[in-house]
Amino acid sequence: MKITFLGGGNMASALIGGLLRQGFLPSDIEVVEPLAETRTQLSGRHGVFCHAGPESLAWAADVIVLAVKPQQMKAAVEPLVPCLSRQVVVSIAAGLPLEALSRWLGGYRRIVRCMPNTPAMIGAGVTGLVALPEVSATERSAAERVLRSAGSTLWIDEESQMDAITAVSGSGPAYVFLFIEALQQAAAELGFSPEQSRQLAIETVLGAAKLAEQSPESTATLRERVTSKGGTTEAALRVMQEHGVKEGIVAGVHAACARGAELGKLLGEG
């Protein structure tokens, strides 16, 4: 399978690195990237061939990954239009609706829209995917193979769910980082050094996430197992409940979802 990336930023580099670890050869991957510094970095790090401009030869691939900023997408994909015939086009640009992408690509319909998150840059991401009806099972598999190089994948049936994917997993790392910040701050206020606070906070979150992943029990049950009646955890959770911590997180995710829908309408215009 031959893959061409339009755009060579951090997420593209993460996917390329993951594909190479999966057994792809550098010769299987090409990148179209206008910035010379970025081309040099990609060639040096991954050994892939980079084009400065949208040469037609670069589009003779099985999968084309659109990895440019949403605001730049319409102009960036214009050179692709006369070159598309059988390729699967995979967009990792946040917020851009499938119909807008199809319109900008001259009505082309073999398009998959994806929402990876930043842990994909270390191979620990989760990516939501949705495809136009014209995308075959084989083509969906090809798109999924690319995104699985950066972590797990989740197919959804309705594109409207992509705003929710963005709100939960796309923005989700920021919520976790905020919790880690708070845990570090509390540790520092209790007398630990910055280094100790960081270790305690990050490794506690990592361990709890791994336990939740590996346990057959619900997270609610796992929480209850740590919460002894009259104990320290119960005291902490009671204060957090009084401050509306859980309700604030849920409300924040809903706000992110609503804002995602608004931005999608704006980005898809034109």
- By DSSP bridging, strand 111-115 and strand 125-131 are antiparallel
Cα 68 from chain centroid (whole Å): 14
- Give the neighbor-by-neighbor strand order of the sheet with 29-32: 49-51, 29-32, 3-6, 63-66, 88-91, 111-115, 125-131, 151-155
Per-residue pLDDT at 56: 66
Per-residue pLDDT at 69: 92
Positions of the chain with pLDDT lower than 50, given as ranges: none
For residue 6, the cross-strand partners are 32, 66
**pLDDT tens column, 94-134:** 899 999 999 999 999 999 999 999 999 999 999 999 999 99
Answer for the pair 70, 96: CB distance below 8 angstroms, yes or no.
yes
Contacts of 201 (CB under 8 A, 6+ apart): 180, 183, 184, 187
Please report, for residues 3, 80, 151, 244, the alpha-carbon distance to residue 11 in angstroms, rounded to integers and kept in the order given: 15, 21, 12, 35
Please report, for residues 124, 126, 177, 213, 219, the alpha-carbon distance to residue 216 in angstroms, rounded to integers and kept in the order given: 21, 20, 26, 8, 9
Contacts of 167 (CB under 8 A, 6+ apart): 253, 254, 256, 257, 260
3-class SS at 51?
A: strand
Counts for the chain of helices (H) and strands (E), in that order? 11, 8
Structural domains present in the chain: 3-165 (3.40.50.720), 172-262 (1.10.3730.10)
Per-residue pLDDT at 58: 67
